[in-house]
Amino acid sequence: MQKLTIRFSIISIVTLLLFSCKSYQIQDAVKKEKTITEFKNPYFSNQATDYVYKANIEIYGNKLGGIFIAKKINDTLHRVVFTTEFGNKLLDFEMSENNFKVNYILDDLNRKIIINTLKDDFRLLLKANHQIDAVFEKEPFVIYKSIDNKRFNYFFESKKENKLMKLVNTSKTKEKVTFEFSSKNGIFAENIKITHQNIKLKIELFQIIN
């Protein structure tokens, strides 16, 4: 009886490990022939445009509201500024794919985990060009997979309108961050929602129309 119990325990542990280490897959997605080598995120790519949004940020139970401004400085560099609605600066970042600079951050936000998380979120939001590793299809989307260091990005583009609707950042096994986009013309995203799965952080951006 004891041997049977031990054997059952071993089988249960092995089964649990196999399922917990299962590679991340999009349910019901069908792999397709890769016809392109690069996916271009159209949002935040125009150097002549100031991207201005009303921002709501929820982080570990704290809520911040203000104005989010993103500006493409050159082919590789973006500047991101977050202020209160009265114009008081909360943070000011400059970033490219390989460089990152904090021009200013409010003392209450000046925590390594917060800075690194926002850096990764904004860098992925603003990065335009992504090398494609694989292509999938799941109605109503074509899904482009890109390798991002030790993580993976899945770009969900609507088949009907060719608009980027969603971006999912994953580890090898599970979703980490989801970006959801609403866009009328496929070039400018009027509404953006960033949701983290493993930490209590959500960012919502709403276009400010002059």
At 101-145, the pLDDT tens digits run 999 999 988 999 989 999 999 999 999 999 999 999 999 999 999
Give which of 160, 157, 166 is closest to 191, Cα–Cα. 166
Count Cβ atoms below 10 Å from residue 160 Cβ, excluding itself. Answer: 7
Task: Determine, yes or no, domain membership for 144.
Answer: yes
Structural domain count of the chain:
1
Residue 100 maps to a domain: yes
Over 70: is that where the pLDDT of 7 sits? no
- CA end-to-end span of the chain, whole Å? 76
The candidate with the shortest Cα–Cα distance to 43, out of 186, 149, 143, 142, is 186
With respect to residue 11, please indicate whether it lies within any of the assigned structural domains.
no
DSSP secondary structure letters along 56-103? EEEETTEEEEEEEEEEE-SSS-EEEEEE-TTS-EEEEEEE-SS-EEEE
Angle in degrees, CA 72, 75, 81, rounded to 5 = 20
Q: Is residue 58 part of a domain?
A: yes
Residue 43 belongs to a domain with what CATH number?
Answer: 2.50.20
Cα–Cα distance measured from residue 203 to residue 77, given in angstroms and rounded to the nearest whole number? 22
21 occurs within a structural domain = no
200 in a structural domain: yes
Q: Is the pTM of this model over 0.75?
A: yes
Peptide bond into 42 cis (omega under 30): no
Lowest mean pLDDT among 4-8, 83-87, 117-121: 4-8
Q: What token pair was written down for 185? A: 């013309």
Residue numbers of the domain that contains 173: 28-207
Q: Is the pLDDT of residue 54 over 90?
A: yes
Inside any domain, residue 78: yes
Whether 54 maps to a domain, the answer reads yes
